[in-house]
Amino acid sequence: MEAFSYDITQYESHPYAQTRPELMYTMARLFGLNPTHFKKCRVLELGCAAGGNILPMAYNFKDSEFVGVDLSAKQIEQGIEQIRDLGLTNIQLLHKSIMDIDASYGKFDYIIAHGVFSWIPLEVQEKIFAICKDNLTPHGVAYISYNTLPGWNMVKNIRELMLYHCQGFETHQQKVEQARLILKFIVDSLEGQNTPYANFLRSEVELLSKHGDHYLLHEHLEQDNDPMYFHTFMERAAKHDLCYLSDTQLSTMFAHNLPEKVASQISTITDIVRLTQYMDFIRNQRFRCTLLCHKNVAINRSLKPEDIEKFYICYLGNVRNDITEEEMAEGNTLQFTSGAITLTLKNRLSKIAMKIIHDRSRKPISFEKLVAKTKELSGETDDNKVKLFLHQDLGLMRLTLAGLLEVHSSSGEYTREKVQKPKATKLAQYQVKKKNFVTNQRHELIALNPVETRLLEYCDGTKEVRKILEQMNDHFMKGELKLVKKTGEEITEKNEIQKEAEIYCQALLQQMANNALLIAE
């Protein structure tokens, strides 16, 4: 990977929710480590680009310290400008090579290397492992993402095709243009074919067509792109006295999420690395987000139902707006789904608890608060009885391992409630003036259309909802913003504009709250 390629065609610098220290802290606690609290820690990001991932962390956690390094001078300059504009004093972005990091940088509680490992030479990969060994605190956690086999075996064919076709072209723009042309040629050549290979190629080309030039260049056309098997990655990590802590998603770790017949056989494997590698073969895994810790740290993998009590619980499944009183009645069936998972409940106490979690729409709730709220709505007075149902009948830990629920270590610094004066963070207010996306309070990227952009600008905590709606209506009336019917036709009649603008903007305000963009007054 040549450093100047990221100066010429810069990789868009975004937040990645799976890299946030709160998640690493939660996973470490779940498996028995004693990690440093994510609100007061030191974080190092390797390959930080313009700080799109690490900078929002620094904004939200002022008592923590953040250091990012990257070889792209231009992207570091952009990041430093944002740091200066936001007045942040707890973050440094350094124009350095990963190879320059040594003991003088000190120890870090969390180390992040996202979108870096597979695209660098072998000696730099080894240096990342060395940094994780030498610069990680005793109970610290390192995050490394990378392309994996077997999933990348077929993707390699497309990459090698593009590389072969582009080898006679010099500039990055020429290479990207030619890569897109050869992809179109391949799709055209598959017309009328319905083989598995043809269908795979079509889906991959369609996926690549949705990404910008920066992704195509740096994901597929860089000199280095080295996918590997998980067991190979872990063998190399072990040489640096590092071991596998977990995935960033619990549901991908547990064999019982596979078909029952397969799960019963594969779950007899006691070696966590071998078990995970077999699951990668079964799922044709192509990308991994792996958490590592020091080899000498004791990891407790015997999770018990009661372990959930230490955490906040969040719903990840499909949101239902049609739950009826009849479904909630004792003995009747109430179902929640997420992908292939279907949870069927008949006990009223369990249904009340699950509906409480569901209705918060990804806003975590503490176990203690869930118990109290369930008692309040059910009329039950016995704490132990409620807890028993949560552990045994509802099975909160089981649902977490299945992927219907998720554990957190806080409730999140945002509100879903309707507030008198909607307020977005200063970070979002700043970002919305620069690009058409912002970072929410779940560390996710949220894309905004022109109406949402203008609406968010007004959500500064000083204006009441009625005033915001009046200002938005004025923009619609002047034609600065447009309203469109479901048919695609623009609304131009003034009375209709006024009516529809208020409905639309009210809905957008609620959507912003649901998307963790608004904070409490």
Q: What is the CATH number of the domain that holds 371?
A: 3.90.930
- One domain for residues 177 and 255: no
Instruction: Kindly report, residue by residue over 247-273, the tens digit of the pLDDT.
Output: 999 999 988 888 888 888 888 888 999
Domain boundary, last residue among 238, 261, 294: 294
What pLDDT digit, counting tens, does each position of 47-68 carry?
999 999 999 999 999 999 999 9
Look at residue 198 and tell me whether its pLDDT is greater than 80: no
Q: Is residue 519 part of a domain?
A: no
Q: Report pLDDT for 219.
A: 66
Please check the confidence at residue 1 and state whether its pLDDT lies above 50. no
The more confident residue out of 96 and 520 is 96
CATH of the domain at 240: 3.40.50.150
Do residues 338 and 375 share a domain?
Answer: yes
pLDDT level of residue 214 (50, 70, 90 thresholds): low
Q: How confident is the model at residue 217 (pLDDT cuts 50, 70, 90)?
A: low
Q: What span, in angstroms and rounded, lies between the C-alpha atoms of 59 and 73? A: 22
Q: In what order do the strands lie in the sheet with 365-366?
A: 365-366, 312-315, 405-408
- Tell me if 416 is assigned to some domain: no
Looking at the structure, do residues 128 and 274 belong to the same domain, yes or no?
yes
* Structure confidence at residue 509 (pLDDT): 94
Tell me: do 20 and 117 sit in the same domain.
yes
273 Cβ neighbours under 8 A, 6+ residues apart: 230, 231, 234, 244
Q: For residue 421, tell me if it sits in a domain.
A: no
Domain-ending residue, one of 170, 185, 220: 220
Instruction: Kindly state the average pLDDT of the residues 73-86.
Output: 96
Q: For 363-411, what is the HEC assignment?
A: CCEEHHHHHHHHHHHHCCCCHHHHHHHHHHHHCHHHHHHHCCEEEECCC
Q: What count of other Cβ atoms lies within 10 Å of the Cβ of residue 263?
A: 14
340 with 465, same domain?
Answer: no
SS3 for 22-63, per residue?
HHHHHHHHHCCCCCCCCCCCEEEEECCCCCCCHHHHHHHCCC
DSSP letters of 328-350?
Answer: HSTTS-EEEEETTEEEEE--HHH
pLDDT digits (tens, 9 = 90+) for 386-398: 999 999 999 999 9
- The reply to whether 419 falls in a domain is no
The reply to whether 414 falls in a domain is no
Indicate if 28 and 131 belong to the same structural domain: yes
Q: 220, 237, 257: which is the final residue of a domain?
A: 220
- The residue ranking higher by pLDDT, 162 or 326, is 326
> Does residue 315 sit in the same domain as residue 432?
no
Distance of CA 477 to the CA centre of its chain: 38
Q: Using alpha carbons, select from 413, 412, 416, 455 the residue that is nearest to residue 432.
A: 455
| Residue 187 CA to its chain's centroid (Å) | 31
* 10 in the same domain as 25: yes
Please write the tens of the pLDDT for every residue from 87-125: 999 999 999 999 999 999 999 999 999 999 998 999 999
State the pairing for strand pair 136-147/108-113.
parallel
Q: What percent of the chain has pLDDT over 90?
A: 69
Mean pLDDT, rounded, for 327-344: 91
Phi and psi at residue 67, to the nearest 5°: -130, 130
Residue 489 belongs to domain spanning: 426-514
Q: Are residues 205 and 350 in the same domain?
A: no
Query: Which of 452, 458, 341, 459 minimizes the C-alpha distance to 400?
Result: 341
Asked if residue 461 belongs to a domain, the reply is yes
pLDDT confidence bin for 2, thresholds 50/70/90: very low
**Whether residue 403 sits in one domain with residue 320:** yes
- 283-307 tens-digit pLDDT: 999 999 999 999 999 999 999 999 9
If asked whether residues 284 and 369 sit together in one domain, one would say no
Same domain, yes or no: 21 and 132: yes
* In contact, 241 and 133? CB cutoff 8 Å: yes
Query: Residues 418-441: pLDDT tens digits?
Result: 889 999 999 999 999 988 899 999
Locate 167 and state its tokens. Answer: 């080898």
Which residues does 194 contact at the CB level (< 8 Å), separation at least 6? Answer: none
Residue 343 lies in a domain: yes
pLDDT value, residue 221: 63
Number of domains in the chain: 4
Length of the chain: 521
Q: Is residue 320 part of a domain?
A: yes
